[in-house]
Structure 1
């Protein structure tokens, strides 16, 4: 369809202006408005190139479960309208005007990652230069699909893709300029900070059709301070209390009850903080593994307390002889390995203390009180009675020695298992610190 310039109200492809009027006349622009369905070129073989740039203003939310990133962009489009050209000298020096975007042809820009309805606030006007160059600034609330990697949460870095496509499209600014502008506006944002914006222009072919696309890679990094304060530090304090609980004397304090209460408190802590942890079907974040390992270490600590309590209570009350291999392996070799020194023998009790309950100086407790010696009968003792009394006292002395040995076995095992537990905690802390350093180096 051929339309003459006179029919459009255009003279030499320029809008007309009247004397005393600022800008082109309404009649000449109305002729351009009537051509809205057509691409604004005189020769349809001439391409209309759309230039795109955007500024990442805010990261509104990251949903790890649905793998969706919600951002707010300031999108800027540039293209050339060959019919909106006028001479500023003839139009009272006017070089730029604004017109409703609904009255003009606008390029069709598609964002391939868009997964929701566009509920952005509309920007109704475009700015037009006297040379026919149009600039359209619009605000875009972009809900896009993004493959989120949450393994290193809360020290994760996400790389999301924004793909803009049209028949003829190119970047309006360099990717470094877009990244710099976005960093200036994103400094006041909350949880996320922008690392860099990268991009690449390419051609996408669908059969015989070719589409120009611009792919932007937006790299954002999470600020982990909130999660360190609310998750990692309280968990570390509970682990520290669990370590310090080993200094409670196992013979006089119910250490097992204390550790069970600590495990219960840690479980409640995990339930309360469960909402802060992301969850996806792709994997488990490392912080979840960290909490699981901490809980497992607390259970191991409780198991160690159960073993020591069994040695101090169960074996000593049966008055069984300490096996020879236990004396050789534990009381000799392991005691020397952990530098455990048994206290010197206590001198025999005086006559005033014979009537008092006898306790071991190292294993004093309600379960190892020695039975009081029977008082001698008022009548003269026979030889048989003296022999029985001596045998009874000898049996009590042997029981006291067995109890003393079992008590030292329990203490040696307690010291040994405590040091092994400290070694596990140290290795675990070293792994966490190394991962932290690797994350710092990568970012």
Structure 2
């Protein structure tokens, strides 16, 4: 057994000189199985002892790895399972004292997710490799190759092409947003656009409120079905959640505004006159802001009143064939009739003017909410476009 032992000693090298010697190994039979069993009992089970002659000499570990797959990024369960590694029996030993372990490891760890720009988010997860038993004075861990080479090998051997894309070896993950754009953003834009064009429906001829109620119900069901695609962990609220909330708020506001306009059209004749500040704020300034002309229908009553005054006080020089007494009697009768007519006309035009002001107020509010819809859709579209462009520019930089 001595030649086999000496050969094994030469393979392990001088770094194991303080651990292995010829008189410490006892093999029952001259077979490889007996030699491995003896090594396990006398050498390989001494994990607390560093393989150095002098305890002050640090152990140098050259480390390299290849990332084969990103199985999943779970953003809804806080419990982290135990890291699982498949069992292997291979340890490579060289005659210069180098020992190489190619153990595949399935790593499961936690990482702080920044989901503010979801689904165009880029996650930076830092992993620290070190010994949990020894300090830097005892163990030096070095990378055997640069990070670019490790990234290139990892991308070459990457087996999964799922939701996440590896962009840096430290580890930087970039989410592929196509699934969420198709399933979340595009349907939401379609529903909010349909609600936008519903403002073109005349509220006095069609039931616009029922149409908007159907849209709100459909949008609510859509959000409930797509809730599993949205992340629920993170320090900040994603912008996409704010977008969905604003879309639903605009739909509800448009429904309330439609109810108000329908009420005005049906009962504006019974409403009191508008306050002056409402006329100035809504019918003057806000009407100009949304490019609606001011209400000028109240001038009709003024022109009619002028005509009535001309009838009441006729011009001089018109001669009547009747005598003076009959003329005074006829004028008194005409005066009474004209006063009655004037009272009825003034009442009619006063009520009609109030109704027109209320209706014009509803038109201004309707146009203002339509403008808010257009501004919101434009701003949100360009915001998503900017994030998407930044996502692709980050891919080119990396």
The TM-score range, normalised by the shorter chain, is 0.5 to 0.7
1:280 aligns with 2:280: no
CA contact (8 A) 1:187 1:193 kept: no
Report the equivalent of 1:10: 6
How big is the shift at 1:418? 2.1
Moved more, 424-433 or 292-301: 424-433
Match of 2:184 in 1: 231
Q: Structure 2: which 5+ residue stretches go unaligned? A: 12-29, 298-333
Q: Map Cα deviations across residues 66-88 of structure 1 (whole Å, 9 max, x no partner).
A: 457xxxxxxxxxxxxxxxxxxxx
Structure 2 counterparts to residues 23-422 of structure 1, below 5 A: 26=32, 29-30=35-36, 32-33=39-40, 34-38=42-46, 43-45=53-55, 47-66=58-77, 116-166=81-131, 167=134, 168=139, 169-186=141-158, 188-197=160-169, 217-280=170-233, 282-316=235-269, 318=270, 338-340=290-292, 406-422=358-374
Deviation at 1:144, TM superposition (A): 0.9
Q: Secondary structure at the match of 1:141?
A: coil
Note closer, same or farther for the CA distance 1:66–1:187 as it changes in structure 2 (3 Å cut): same
Relative to the length of structure 1, the TM-score reads: 0.61
Displacement of 1:311 after TM fit? 2.3
Counterpart CA distance in 2 for 1:43 and 1:259 is 82
Instruction: Give the superposed CA RMSD.
Output: 4.1
| TM-score (normalizing by structure 2) | 0.67
Which stretch has the larger CA shift, 286-295 or 5-14?
Answer: 5-14
Structure 2 CA distance, aligned partners of 1:322 and 1:163?
70
Equivalences, count: 329
Contact 2:283 / 2:294 at 8 angstroms: preserved in 1? Answer: no
Which structure's residues are more often strand, by fraction? Answer: 1
Q: Report how far residue 158 of structure 1 moved.
A: 1.3
More helix by share: 2
Query: Distance in 2 between the 1:399 and 1:327 partners?
Result: 16
Q: Structure 1's 241 and 159: CA in aligned 2 closer, same or farther, altered over 3 A? A: same
User: How far, CA to CA, are the matches of 2:3 and 2:54 in structure 1?
Assistant: 18
Q: Is 2:375 the counterpart of 1:423?
A: yes
Point out where structure 1 has 5 or more consecutive residues left out of the alignment: 16-23, 69-114, 198-216, 346-382
